[in-house]
Structure 1
Amino acid sequence: MLVQRLGAPSDFDPLLERIRNARIVMIGEATHGTYDYYRLREQLSRRLIAELGFSFVAVEGDWPDCERVHRSVTAAPDGLADPRIALERFERWPTWMWANAEVARFARWLRAWNSERPEDRRAGFHGLDVYSLWESMQAIFDYLGEEDPTSLEAAQEAYRCFEPYGRRLEEYGDNSRFVSARCEEEVVRLLTRTREQAAADGPDRFSAWQNAEVVAGAERYYRAMVGGGVESWNVRDVHMADTLDRLLDLHGPDARGIVWAHNTHVGDARATDMANAGMTNIGQLARERHGTDDVVLVGFGSYRGTTVAAPRWGSPAEATVVPPARPGSVERRLHELMPDRAVLVFGGPDQPGWVTDQLDHRAIGVVYDPSFESWGNYVPTRLGERYDAFVWCDETTALHPLPALAAPGEMETYPAGV
């Protein structure tokens, strides 16, 4: 194991050496609301794009919202001149996950970087998630209305299945137990037609196809969510892994991708108690599909500080104190052993017990109550198996949300909002 104190972007050199030939790098976060994680992830991603030629960043966000950011950072003809404006248009709660000053700074840098490169060599910004059923459906209508009006009927039939539930898609999940499979069949029909239309080259056709995949994934997600348990989590992460693979194909045979998502998605589920519950995640799926040499998983963690979170689902975000990590946790051990900031690159025969043994590892979602620290918010983890590297910040501060308009978001699965 190699430990490098972090003070400047150049201190990521040992990690870049580990990444050198990898095709996929997943960079995590222990919370969705911590400035330090976003800032360090930005610094690392800039180097991956500028020095190693990575092709895109794919985030734990909705495809339509991130498509507006993508068109801005790639200076597409219909793209906004300032990607911050695209981020401020995020509406789904919790908006602060991506509509924040830290992501805006990275997006502005990416637009400036891309402006000096040919169109086919510009780095993209994409969303992996499954929640945007209505937004994706509208995007399909817009596309088919211009490109293939004869296929509008399939889209309209799929729309009519969901229309009775309005934005209350949890009710669709409840009712799906008692009604026929017609909605599922119409969504599959829509997906097939859109996929056929998207067979030709072109970003607009690909985006329509991806929106159809979102509609299909969302339909499966809401049906699975009713049953509880792990199925809805797995539907979501398989959708994100499939989207990542489609993006690699889109960007070409030499494409290399960066993923930004919570540790709970990035770190290999097989090295946690998630595996005992039958859960998978995108880190595990990427290793299984692409091999461990082509995938580098990077986790994040801290001992104490502040973060942006909400006390309950859908309520306004606020800066919240993260108390010192509990005894026996990964974070408490690193607090005792490490510098204030460090990057750890795992590997080699002589790794310490706290790397190979199972210890509690903190995970904070968009809903957070510090009083639960004594019994919740931790995932039993074998750190050196879950990640290839780990970025440590002893004390952290909350990030800076943009003034986006928040609409109620869809309920996420275990843990609370990750």
Structure 2
Amino acid sequence: MSTLEKHIIAAAEPFDRIDDSTFAEKFDRFKDARLILIGDASHGTSEFYTARAAITKRLVERFGFNIVAAEADWPDAHSVDQYVRHQTTVSAAESLNAFQRFPTWMWRNQEFKEFIEWLHRHNGDCPESEQAGFYGLDLYSLGASIRAVIDYLDKVNPDAAQDARKRYGCLQPWIEDPAQYGLVALKLGEAPCAEGVRKVLNDLLIRRLEYARKSDGAFLDAEMNAQIVRDAEEYYRALYHDPDLSWNLRDVHMFKILSRLLETKGSKAIVWAHNSHVGDARYTSMGMSRNELNIGQLCRENFGKDVVIIGCGTHTGTVAAANDWDGKMEVMKVVPSLEDSYERVMFNSGVPRFLLDLNQHKELTQMLMKPRLERFIGVIYRPATERWSHYSKAVLPKQMDAYVWFQESKAVIPFETDQPQFPPAVDETYPFGL
């Protein structure tokens, strides 16, 4: 056994069952943070979902965290938010019907359903001002967000609604497949719809006080959707001429939405997203080689010591993923982790499940500072080309503050495996879907 493995064994905080209260209690050390980002190494691993749910429950229930912000589209998440806040009569399962874009299993799964049922019960015992909400940070809801903005303006200012219809009408030909707008913009060498979508957002913000008086909390929803349309227009233009920029635009957008949510006095947020988004990009090949940033980096740069980043990893097992974008979900075997990877170092310790606090063990931290491979499985998994498709270099102790390890893991339990038949979307993380 190597010296490194001995140090990991000494530092590891083992646990058995995630649903045992002693698991979530391990994270009480982070209770004074304002922002806790919980990452996962795949979008289809049951243990990652249940672990972050257990951590989140404890932080919400005991330490006043009141925002759960996820790598999900705002309009879809809004349906869940209404359910957990008792603002609708639909069931948990019905609230999840909003998630109809590939990959549906990312949110339409049993593990997530059980979490929002818990949050619904928790909020039922709280005054409205103390309830925790669920929000989406992503920008893939162009059509739904346009409809939401216009519906809102129809109620508070019909003239402004007509102006928005005209300005958003520029995007109408590409609503079903907005990536095609990026191709058209590239060919034209211009941004045909940019000015219009910016004006809708600016006009909304100029009248913020007036609208907020008329509609209470509905203004925030309209503002966020207008922000999505504005940022999505720019994002899709960047897809073809600068993929690295498109990644940055997406994570900057997620940070903007999160920052807006944190403007409320007393707000404390938990972020659920992939390790590639929450692990500080400056200490991965994303930042070191490709000049990419992410929400984890932006949170640290703007909120400093108020931020804690927790990652999850696994050695082998099964995962819910697809072979291709918009493809059918499959339960796939996870190939055992590669030599020279952080996952293999954790596996070699022989401890099946543990928490590793990367800030508390100086000698171990120093030994882990050597850049190693780290596995990133998104909604697409290609085991045959795993080294090149799913591994990237990272410096784990700089990338994260803590790491939750599962030697073996299993796939989430999806509501369905077939995916909606929409036009093939070109995502900036294709074919890996992070």
TM-score class, shorter: over 0.9
1:411 aligns with 2:426: yes
User: What do the CA deviations read for 1:133-166 (whole angstroms, capped 9, x no partner)?
Assistant: 1000001111111111120123112221111224
Is 1:175 aligned to 2:175, yes or no? no
User: Are the counterparts in 2 of residues 90 and 405 from structure 1 also a CA contact under 8 Å?
Assistant: no
Indicate whether 1:195 and 2:211 are aligned. no
Aligned partner of residue 47 in structure 2, secondary structure = helix
3-state secondary structure, aligned to 2:266: coil
Ranges in structure 1 where 5+ consecutive residues have no aligned partner: none
Matched, 1:163 2:178: no
Instruction: State the match for 2:406 in structure 1.
Output: 393
CA RMSD of aligned residues (A): 1.6
CA contact under 8 A between 1:62 and 1:128: conserved in structure 2?
A: yes
User: Which position in structure 2 is the counterpart of 1:365?
Assistant: 378
Q: In 1, Cα distance between the equivalents of 2:67 and 2:420?
A: 27
Q: Look up the SS of the partner of 1:394 in the other structure.
A: strand
Cα shift readout 1:289-309 (whole Å, capped 9, x = no counterpart): 100x10000001000010000
Aligned to 2:150: 141
Amino acid at match of 1:231: L
Query: Per-residue deviation at 1:216?
Result: 0.4
| Deviation, structure 1 residue 90 | 1.2
Conserved in 1, the CA contact under 8 Å of 2:44 and 2:321? yes
2:47 is the alignment partner of 1:36: yes
Once residues 186 and 45 of structure 1 are traced to their aligned partners in structure 2, the CA distance between those partners, rounded to angstroms, is: 39
Amino acid at match of 2:410: T
1:62 and 1:355, CA in 2 relative to 1: closer, same or farther beyond 3 A? same
Distance 2:411 2:148 in 1: 34
Distance 1:195 1:97 in 2: 32
Identity of aligned residues (%): 35
Q: Report the Cα offset of residue 180 of structure 1.
A: 4.8
- Equivalent residue for 1:287? 300
How many angstroms does 1:70 deviate by? 0.2
Matches within 5 A, 1:292-371: 293-348=305-360, 349-371=362-384
Q: Is the 8 A contact 1:323 1:370 kept in 2?
A: yes
Q: TM-score, normalised by structure 1?
A: 0.95
What SS does structure 2 have at the residue aligned with 1:361? strand
Decide which of 218, 225, 247 is 2:239's aligned counterpart.
225
Tell me which amino acid in the other structure corresponds to 1:158: R
Tell me the distance in 1 between the aligned counterparts of 2:69 and 2:260: 11
Aligned mate of 1:209, from 198, 219, 223: 223
CA distance in 1, matches of 2:168, 2:219: 20
Q: Displacement of 1:413 after TM fit?
A: 1.9
Give the match for residue 78 of structure 2: 67
Q: Which amino acid aligns with 1:34?
A: T
Q: Which secondary structure state, in structure 2, belongs to the residue aligned with residue 230 of structure 1?
A: helix
Contact 2:31 2:59 in 1 (8 A): no
* 2:257 is the alignment partner of 1:243: yes
Q: Which amino acid in structure 2 is aligned with residue 165 of structure 1?
A: W
Equivalent position to 2:22, from 10, 35, 55: 10
Which amino acid in structure 1 is aligned with residue 64 of structure 2? G
Q: Does 1:106 align with 2:118?
A: no
SS of structure 1 residue aligned to 2:328: coil
- Following superposition, the deviation at residue 167 of structure 1 comes to 1.0
Which deviates the most, 85-94 or 308-317? 85-94
- Tell me which amino acid in the other structure corresponds to 1:316: K
Hey, what does 2:278 align to over in structure 1? Answer: 266
Structure-2 separation of matches of 1:405 and 1:330: 33
Give the aligned partner of residue 123 of structure 1: 132
Aligned to 2:32: 21
Q: Is the 8 A contact 2:275 2:312 kept in 1?
A: yes
Given the alignment of the two structures, is residue 51 of structure 1 paired with residue 62 of structure 2, yes or no?
Answer: yes
**1:333 & 1:402 partners in 2: Cα distance?**
35
Query: Post-superposition shift, 1:284?
Result: 0.3
The yes-or-no answer on 1:92 pairing with 2:101 is yes
| Residue type at the aligned position of 1:308 | A
Amino acid at match of 2:335: P
Native 8 Å contact 1:60 1:128 kept in 2: yes
Q: Deviations over 1:87-122 (max 9, x none)?
A: 133111111111111111000000000001111110
CA distance in 1, matches of 2:322, 2:169: 34
Structure 1: distance between partners of 2:51 and 2:333: 20
Contact persistence 1:84–1:107 (CA under 8 A): no
Which stretches in structure 2 are left out of the alignment for 5+ residues? 1-7
> Secondary structure of 1:61's match?
strand
1:56 CA displacement: 1.4
User: Cα 1:358–1:407, aligned 2, differ >3 Å: closer, same or farther?
Assistant: same
Preserved CA contact (<8 Å) 2:342 2:374: yes
User: What is the distance in 2 between the residues matched to 1:143 and 1:338?
Assistant: 56
Residues 88 and 405 of structure 1 are in contact (CA less than 8 Å); yes or no, is this contact kept in structure 2? Answer: no
- The count of corresponding residues between Structure 1 and Structure 2 is 412
Relative distance call for 1:371 and 1:107 in structure 2 (3 A) is same
1:344, CA displacement in angstroms? 0.8
